[in-house]
Amino acid sequence: MNFRPVRAAAFGVAAILLLYGLGAGIAALGSFDRTSGGEVAVVRNGGPFDNHRIRGVIGPASTRTWVGFFSDVHKYPSQQRFYTITADAGKGDRGGVDVVQVPSKDGVEMGIEGTLYFTLNTDHEVLRLFDDKFGTRTFRSVDGKSEYHPYDGGAGWSAFLDSIIRPVIGNDLREQINNFTCAELVSSCALVQIGADPTATRGAAVVFSSNNGNISKVQESINRSLAADLRETLGAEFLTGLRFNLVRITLPGQVQDAVNKAQAEFANVSAAQARVAQAKADAEANQQRQAGYSQCPACASIDQLKAIPSTVTVYAPGQPFAVTQPQK
């Protein structure tokens, strides 16, 4: 009996079993996952014969956890995060120059810069809802060239914030800034309104002193309205610990140029007023000095002698005698 075909078949079966076992082992090793201290994960079923429902949630800083064969693990940030709007290129979430342009009550376009601080709600039921609503969607990147899921690292999270959160921030800023005039938020706006009229400086000082209070009011109003607006927009309280810091308010180029011109004119007027005040003071001093000389004629002569420069050796102003400086 020829055993060679039997042996070949046995080797073939063994090789298949070995490959299958190796594949199963690799799949088993890949069916474990864990989270770091700054992230939380939502696990979804996967594989060719399974549904894609949520299997479970893994909390921050977990040990290695069984997630199932071919499951998808969506990892989200669990620590406090922030979204920055700034004119400093490269320091904001949009990379380049990024300022929210909103009108003031009196129609002046103002550039708003600030930072929103928040934390993703890590309650497991809330995270399941968040992943169902947003984890199953893609969002266009800031540069508009790519599509990301919110769990696709920093790029995906930024794409989600820019698409969903940024419009809400802009709308809230527009509503709150529109309650104040330009001068109530940026003191230099008052210079454009009052010009270089020195009689208006007292009124301008009142506006200047109220700026910080008005900016605080804007900030507090935004913090109150953002929580409600984001809850309504997102459909649940997915973000907690919301706090917006208004960093800077800038003026359009033309308005800023007008402010700079008004400041220069105001400085010129102030300098002219200073010269007038000095002239008045000098005139009053001369008048007082003349009154003193009337009371003491000899004092006038003494002061006149003291005023003689040291280079003059002979002094005879229309008199029959001369005063000679002593030789040193």
Res 196: pLDDT? 40
d(CA 277, CA 235) in angstroms, rounded, equals 67
Query: For the ranges 178-182, 208-212, 264-268, 277-281, which has the lowest average pLDDT?
Result: 264-268
- For the whole model, what pTM was predicted? 0.66
Question: Residue 73 phi/psi, 5° resolution?
Answer: -115, 115
**pLDDT tens-digit map of 52-80:** 899 999 999 999 998 888 899 999 999 99
94 pLDDT band, cuts 50/70/90, is: low
**pLDDT tens-digit map of 204-263:** 444 444 578 888 888 999 998 999 999 999 999 999 999 999 988 887 666 656 555 655
Q: Say how many CA atoms lie within 13 Å of 51 toward its Cβ.
A: 3
Where do we find the tokens 């400085």? 267
121 pLDDT band, cuts 50/70/90, is: very high
**pLDDT tens-digit map of 32-50:** 899 998 999 999 998 777 7
Fold adopted by 81-251: Tetrahydropterin Synthase; Chain A (3.30.479)
pLDDT at 305 over 80: no
Q: What is the mean pLDDT of the chain?
A: 77
Q: Domain extents for the chain?
A: 30-76, 81-251
